[in-house]
Amino acid sequence: MNKNALLCATLALALCSAKRCEAQTQPHAFPVTASSGNVAGAPAIATLPGAPGLTTFISGFEITGSGATAASCVNATVTGVVSANLTYTFCAPTGLTVAAPPLIVNFNPPIPAASVNTPITVTLPSLGAGNANAAVVTHGFQQ
């Protein structure tokens, strides 16, 4: 064993003894997810639930859909978060079998709910007449 490796190992043990070698722990976090399922011609809503004594955090969401009889753009919202509601534009193309580009949003760091035991909801309004596919999925955690 070379002298540098031995010196490093000795220093590591000395520091470890001084700090009691405690591992850093993460706060208890419970994953939560929600989905609207496939919705046709109606709002697609996914809600991360609130829980007594816990704060819900949203780490991201995805919106997917297909076209409608006529192209349309709607405002998807994220409500129940700290500070203010968030708004995102999502557009459906013309054509019932044409896929809309997905909207994928990740929050880093995750955004907390406005208060303890408050749900966070992602809502996509109806994409219009003839639309047969719209879905919202959201994910986060509670702690």
CA torsion 116-118-120-121 (nearest 10°) is 180
State whether CATH 2.60.120 applies to domain 26-142.
Answer: yes
* pLDDT over threshold 90, residue 13: no
Residues ≥6 apart with Cβ < 8 Å to 59: 106, 107, 108, 110, 139, 140, 141
- Tell me, yes or no, if the pTM score tops 0.75: yes
- Domains of the chain: which residue ranges? 26-142
Alpha-helical (H) ranges within 20-132 are: none
* pLDDT over threshold 70, residue 109: yes
Q: Please tell me the predicted confidence (pLDDT) of residue 28.
A: 77
Q: Please tell me the predicted confidence (pLDDT) of residue 64.
A: 98
Beta strands in 10-133 (DSSP E): 30-35, 44-48, 56-65, 72-79, 86-92, 103-112, 120-124
- Higher pLDDT pick, 16 / 39: 39
Q: Please tell me the predicted confidence (pLDDT) of residue 27.
A: 64
Distance CA 65, CA 128 (A): 11
Per the structure block, which two tokens stand in for 12? Answer: 């590591």
pLDDT, tens digit (0-9, with 9 covering 90-100), for 17-65: 444 444 444 467 999 999 999 999 999 999 999 999 999 999 999 999 9
pLDDT, tens digit (0-9, with 9 covering 90-100), for 50-108: 999 999 999 999 999 999 999 999 999 999 999 999 999 999 999 999 999 999 999 99
